[in-house]
Each structure stands twice: as structure tokens, then as C-alpha cells.
Chain A
């Protein structure tokens, strides 16, 4: 089987982001998607801390610590960018104005429930940030994650065992082995990497899958 690496996954997500889309990329794996958006496609990146039209990281020595992304790393602003305060920024999410957000996840359920903020471990310091707003706000919520945990269990699950970020909010799941569409009547396999038969994917996931 030809599992996708992180950059290939990012490339696969980037393929589905159309010209003119307003997009928020979550911290971690989703951030890589920005590197794979074709230069001739105008996509406006939103960062929760108050910028639409976010550009790439600045050259070394050019950092401005008043201009950062949600991960608190220095970024740039493209010509045509706009700054705004936090309530406006989150109105863009919860008001349904963002077209797509791409989030990482611990687990996604077959009903589209998302768990990505807290492991529930008793000694963990909980931190949620903008995850819950993004999960329920964007018109489409894409999740990007490796399909299996380090111990080989599926992160696509019947019911999330980790605390939820949002209920029934995920529409598409991009993994290193397959892309899944979460629909009302079940989970559809949109595409799968070369050399991975449907039955084997079904066995690895352990939740009922439908052919897309």
C-alpha cells in the first residue's frame, strides 16, 4: 500500500479548495495545506486572531511579532488583506461566512462528531482555543489526520471516546490511506491509496463503510 506522507495529504486537501474560497487552516498538519495551494488560485486564508489574506512566513530577520497566526508564529499579510478584532473574526466562523476549515483530530465518529481538543487525561491542562467555533461555524469542516493511532486502532470510530469539540460537524475526512465523506446515511469512501483494497480498508476502520 502507498500510504500518503504529510505533504501528500496536504496536497490532496489543497486539490479540493476552490478559487475564491475563504479558508481557515488549523494548527499542525492542516497548516501544511497552504504550501500546496497553486499560485494561480486565489484562496483567502483566515486566521482567528484577526487577519484575512494571510501570506506565508516572513524571511528570517523580517519577523513582526504584531503579525502572527493562530499558532503564534510570524506571518505576512498579502496585498488586499484586512485586520479586524476578535468578535468580527469569530463572527466569520459562527456566522457561517467561512467556506472551509481544515482541522486536525484525535477522533471522528461516523456521524461526523469531532474530538480534537482534549484527551480527557486527569493531569492534562485543558485548552480549547477556537476549535469549537470552527467546528460548528465553517460551511464545510474538513478533518486531516492519520487513519490509525500509533497502536493501530482507527481514529474513525462509531462513537468518540475523547471529549467532543462539535456534534455532527465534519463533512470530509482526509487520511493517509483514504478520503471519506460523512453523509447522513453513512461513511462513503471517496478515494483510497493505490494497493489498499476496499475490504482491507474496511477491516482497518472497523466501522461500516460504503463505496463512494
Chain B
């Protein structure tokens, strides 16, 4: 019997190696897999490359992971936020490397990794600082930049419901990078509000088919919505 549901966050994160590239879902705090990030801090893997749209908010979640000093490099589109204190300090002290990627290129590079695409030409960023040194090509009257996929060793994502085959549905705009990151990593770990029996998820509505998911752990809504609300109220 296939059962991807694991009993604890610690079990979900077992085996994450030093030096891994970790794709972490979320846009700001929506869809950020806080329970898994806390679990990764606990687990202790270091020398990590983290891929996320942002670079942490406040002192929890991704920011807390950065604060441990175990992240060597961040690949993201928008590190600077009103409450990105931890990243800002590390960056200014040159204690963390930043690869800044336009958001659509970030998404497409992750999608390309999941789809087995070797590289692709994108119009985004042509003629800007972020395309400096990159190969370009003129195709059908338009200029493009060559971009390469971003593969993850591990993806940590947050979804709404999951079953034991790893099928996932998401909640509102917390979906964001989850579905594409799930496809782009060797080991995708999903935290969900709740697990459900096989057949309870409408096959027409499954967003991430279980083939892309290795482990599912239920953390309750407090892993997402309530924690976010508390953080924003603080």
C-alpha cells in the first residue's frame, strides 16, 4: 500500500542533506510552509541554497531559517520588504549570497526544471542588469534571454488538503509556487491543513497529482492561516 502520509514534521524532513538546494513555496507569508521550515531548523541541515519568492518576513519562518546562518545563498525575486530585517542584515554584512531573478523567470525556471526543459528563451529582463552576461537571441522580431532551470533537491510546500497518494489541493493565493516547486525537486514534502481519505479529493480539482509528492504531513490550519494572522496582528 502506498502511504506518503508521515506522522510528524521530523519524519517528513528526515534525510535532508547539507548542501541541498531547497525550494520553499510561498509569496510573503501566504503559502509559506512554516511548520516544515521550523522542522528544517530543528533537523539542522546546513550550507543550503534556498529558493523562494522573498527572503523572509519578521523573525519567523524563512527569516528564522536565515538567522541560523545555515543558508549560503538565496535565489529570489523580491528580498527587500518592510520587515525583511534578517536578510537585510546578512546581505549588508556579506554573509549571504543573493541571486536576484525576475519573478516570472523564477517561476518559469522552476517549471522548466519540473518539465525536463534544458533551457528556454524569455523576453523578460532583456536589456537590463539582470540579463548581463547571458546569451541572447533575436527570434521573430523580438529579443530574448537564455535562462536555465532551477532544480531542487528538496521542495517544502504548503497545501490545503492531501491524501495518502500525495494528491494535493491548495487554498486561495497560498497556492502560488507550490504546484511548480512540487514538480521541480527530487523530494517534495507537503505540509497540509488536513489529510483526507483516497477519493475525497475530486479528481477534476486535484492541482498537484501525487506523482510529484513524496511525503505529506498534516499540521492543521495553525501552520498557515492562523500563524499568519497572528504575525500580521503583532
Q: Which residues of A contact B (CB under 8 A)?
A: 47-51, 63-68, 72, 77, 83-87, 89-90, 93-94, 118, 123-133, 136-137, 163-167
Contacts and interface: CB of A to CB of B under 8 A. Distances in A.
Point out which of A47, A127, A163 has the most chain B C-beta atoms below 10 A from its C-beta. A127
B30 A133 contact: no
A85 B176 contact: yes
26 contacts: A47-B173, A50-B173, A51-B172, A51-B173, A64-B172, A65-B29, A65-B228, A66-B30, A66-B172, A67-B172, A85-B178, A86-B180, A87-B179, A123-B92, A127-B81, A129-B77, A130-B77, A132-B104, A132-B105, A133-B103, A133-B124, A136-B126, A137-B124, A164-B129, A166-B128, A167-B126
Given A50-B175, A137-B104, A132 B78 contact: no
Contact of A49 (B27, B79, B106, B170): B27
Given A66-B30, A94-B104, A129-B77, 18 more contacts: A50-B176, A65-B228, A65-B229, A66-B224, A72-B27, A72-B30, A85-B177, A85-B179, A86-B27, A125-B84, A128-B77, A132-B102, A133-B104, A133-B105, A133-B124, A136-B123, A167-B126, A167-B128
Contact of B175 (A47, A77, A85, A94): A85
Q: How large is the interface on B (under 10, 10 to 19, 20 to 34, 35 or more residues)?
A: 35 or more
A86 B102 CA distance: 12
Contacts of A129: 77-78, 102-103
Contacts of B126: 136, 166-167
Nearest to A67: B172
Point out which of A63, A72, A85, A133 has the most chain B C-beta atoms below 10 A from its C-beta. A85
Contacts of B209: none
Contacts of B229: 63, 65
B95 to A, nearest CB: 14
The secondary-structure label for the interface of chain A is: loop
Contacts of A67: 30, 172-173
Interface in B87-145: 87-88, 91-92, 98, 100-108, 110-111, 122-130, 143
Contacts of A84: 175
Point out which of A51, A123, A131 has the most chain B C-beta atoms below 10 A from its C-beta. A131
